[in-house]
Amino acid sequence: MAETVAIILAAGISSRMNTKLPKVLHEVCGQPILAYVLDACRAVGVAKIYVVVGYGAEQVKEQFGAADDIVWVRQEQQKGTAHAVLCCGEHLGDFEGETFVLCGDGPLIRAETLKMLMEKHRTERPAATLATAVLDEPAGYGRICRNADGSIQGIVEHSDCTSEQLAICEVNPSYYLFNNRILFEALKKVKPDNAKKEYYLTDVLPVIIADGLKVASVTAVRPEEAVSINSREQLSETSKIMQRRIQRAHQREGVTIIDPDNTWIDARAQIGRDTQIEPFTYIHGEVKIGQRCRIGPLVYLNSGTVLKSGSSVKPGTAISTESKK
């Protein structure tokens, strides 16, 4: 089986967020946005992750510098997504294997979706496979254009769509898996023939198709997973979706959450079975709660708090770094 690596695009600037902090370092439920993408890659066995950075590169590297599976790649000028991938050519130009290309600003990505993408790619063995989504409101996304037989013709960015193409609801949320050698050969042929005069990764697909090679797809991306963060409003909405995921995961493991809408649990928290979380509880950071605990209501637990099994935290309590063993 071919080795699989990933390229994560994390170099862009988000002017709509009005921020000096690199977009991928903004937090969703206690973790930087980029952390979720990295974790999804690791969960499906990606051997090496190439993170393309630009704006705030040193801050991003400092946050994740301890990871030994990351190779940092600098994109000095933001000339588009295809240019960002091409910046990895020094490392991957001769690599014989599979390469994911993913966006670093999509924390709602799931490992399950990447697995489906891998299975499709390895079953059909195309030059490229992409995971698509079907949205009721596809505004802003590149549209998947197909031939009469259902095969992929290409992807047209929203700003370049005709009125007919704008009506297409199948979109490109930027989940790709390529034969790496074919990817880098095709990248050399991409031209900035679009409204923004940028080198689009989507333009790799027509090049591959023109060479007589196959592009496959799987409609595996849930609508919520397609969201990338480009504004403070999207950051807030994404955090709500992620919070629901976190709480449901705890509930499946035997934790009772009395009022999910009025509870906040950090992505890094650990909670034991048969613990009950009362309303207006806020659990922040690396908190460890044992089994059969009762927390709240109106409780704040800060990172570093450890509660032994059977503990009870009274209403209105705030624990900063207290440890109970």
Tell me the C-alpha distance between 85 and 90, whole Å. Answer: 11
Contact present, 307 and 276 (Cβ < 8 Å): no
Q: Decide if pLDDT at 322 tops 80.
A: no
CA dihedral over 59, 305, 256, 40, signed as positive or negative: positive
pLDDT at 194 over 80: no
**pLDDT tens per residue across span 195-247:** 788 899 999 999 999 999 999 999 999 999 998 899 999 999 999 999 999 99
Residue 323 clears pLDDT 70, i.e. is over it: no
Residue 42's closest CA among 129, 131, 115, 106? 115
**pLDDT tens sequence across 102-118:** 999 999 999 999 999 99
Question: Would you state the pLDDT for residue 228?
Answer: 87
Residue 138 CA to residue 132 CA, distance in Å, equals 12
Q: Residues of the chain with pLDDT > 90: what percent?
A: 86
- Are the C-beta atoms of residues 163 and 200 closer than 8 Å to each other? no
User: Is the peptide bond prior to 297 cis by the omega test (within 30 degrees of 0)?
Assistant: yes
- Segments of the chain assigned to CATH 2.160.10.10: 253-319
How do residues 117-131 score in pLDDT, each as one tens digit?
999 999 999 999 999
Q: Which fold has domain 253-319?
A: UDP N-Acetylglucosamine Acyltransferase; domain 1 (2.160.10)
pLDDT of residue 65: 83
User: 40 — alpha (psi -120 to 50), left (phi > 0) or beta?
Assistant: alpha
Mean pLDDT, all residues of the chain: 94
The predicted model gives 295-309 an average pLDDT of: 96
pLDDT at 320: 80
Local structure of residue 262 (DSSP, 8 states): G
The yes or no reply on domain 4-128+172-219 and CATH 3.90.550.10 is: yes
Mean pLDDT of the 130-147 span: 93
Closest CA to 272 of 285, 249, 290, 296: 290
**Is the pLDDT assigned to residue 325 strictly greater than 60?**
no
What is the reported pLDDT for 324?
A: 46
Q: Write out pLDDT tens, residues 7-55.
A: 999 998 878 888 999 999 999 999 999 999 999 999 999 989 999 999 9
Average pLDDT over residues 146-150: 92
Cα distance between residue 317 and residue 303, in whole Å: 15
> Where do the DSSP E strands lie in 96-169?
98-103, 128-134, 142-146, 152-156
Cα separation, 15 vs 225, whole angstroms: 22
CATH 3.90.550.10 domain span(s) along the chain:
4-128+172-219
Spatial distance between the Cα atoms of 155 and 171, rounded to a whole number of angstroms: 8
In this prediction, residue 1 carries a pLDDT of 64
| Predicted TM-score of the model (pTM) | 0.93
